Amino acid sequence: MNAPLFPVMAPASPLAAPITGLMWVTLLLGLGVFLLVTVAIFYFVRRYRHRGAQGEPPQVFGNAPEELIWMGAATLVLILIFALSVRVAAQSSPPTDEETPEITVTARQWFWQASYPGGAVSANEIHIPAGRRILLALESGDVIHDFWAYRLGRKLDVIPGQHNRLWIQASAPGVYQGACAEYCGTQHAWMRFVVVAQTPAEYQDWLTRTARPAATPTTDALAGSRLYARLGCPVCHAIGASSAQKVGPDLTHFGSRQLIAGGVLSNTPEHLTRWLNDPDAVKPGTRMPNYPLTGQDIADLTRYLEGLQ
């Protein structure tokens, strides 16, 4: 993933570009005012410094025209920023009222899950077709979160009981980072996700593949599959048809995902082993319980889960 150092300053979407533009305008305006004031302070300190004169210097009480000019200039700058902000808000946040959201994104402590037309579900990565606007329905399963794919659009709070809508768009295919932008508990910092923007054909292909039921465990994955059921994992994680929202991420096509545990680790058998061995050591405060598993148990589970392609 070749992410720019400051993603916020590298918009990859017509919805995010105006926001970055506004940031530059306010940054440069602020820098200009800062320099003006700093230079003036040094100038006046030097110009009117004490040079051995006796007694108080002549006192000046106000100067109406000058004060009006200064206040007027400051007001004009504020009006300019306000007008630009209103325009940027309209550009980055087109109306959503008449539209049906294409993808539902659900936030939970601490991961993201997305469900798509046709029944496909993914966690910690959101697939979209590149080149057009996608309307997201943002839902929360617990507390207030905030969805922010820095380079693809504005950010928006995800509030329990409220059906927020957000447009995102990727100009070109690629992998774009995102994160929760509202403090939501211990692991707020590890509530990351990626948006995978694909060509429309690749996206359709992905949707079809991901809507398929979970792979039948191969013979060497049977032990892991049985253990998964015996431990009660399905209480929190859905695998397959069950579209019901659960406390943990859906695992139907777990093996084909890039990230696990809300983006803490990339999805490799070694990382999954570390995670199952002691989730709390990897992600303190996680809702995932630490089961007393043997090395063999973990190997079985890892083989089963990574096989869910």
Which residues make up the interface to ligand CUA (CB under 6 A)? 107, 110, 145, 180, 182-184, 188, 191
* Alpha carbons 258 and 137: distance in angstroms, whole number: 23
Nearer to ligand CUA, 142 or 202 (CB): 142
Nearer to ligand CUA, 137 or 180 (CB): 180
* Cβ 102 to ligand CUA shortest distance, Å: 22
Give 163's DSSP letter.
-
* Cβ 190 to ligand CUA shortest distance, Å: 9
Cα 102 from chain centroid (whole Å): 18
* Cβ 124 to ligand CUA shortest distance, Å: 12
> 272: which residues sit within 8 A by CB, 6+ positions away?
260, 265, 301, 302, 305, 306
Write the single-letter amino acid at 79.
I
**Residue 133, CA distances (Å) to 102, 104, 168, 171 in order:** 10, 14, 6, 9
* Cβ 143 to ligand CUA shortest distance, Å: 7
Nearer to ligand CUA, 106 or 225 (CB): 106
**Residues written for the chain:** 309
Q: Which two tokens stand for residue 281?
A: 């050591």
* Cβ 247 to ligand CUA shortest distance, Å: 15
Nearer to ligand CUA, 214 or 261 (CB): 261
Nearer to ligand CUA, 106 or 122 (CB): 106
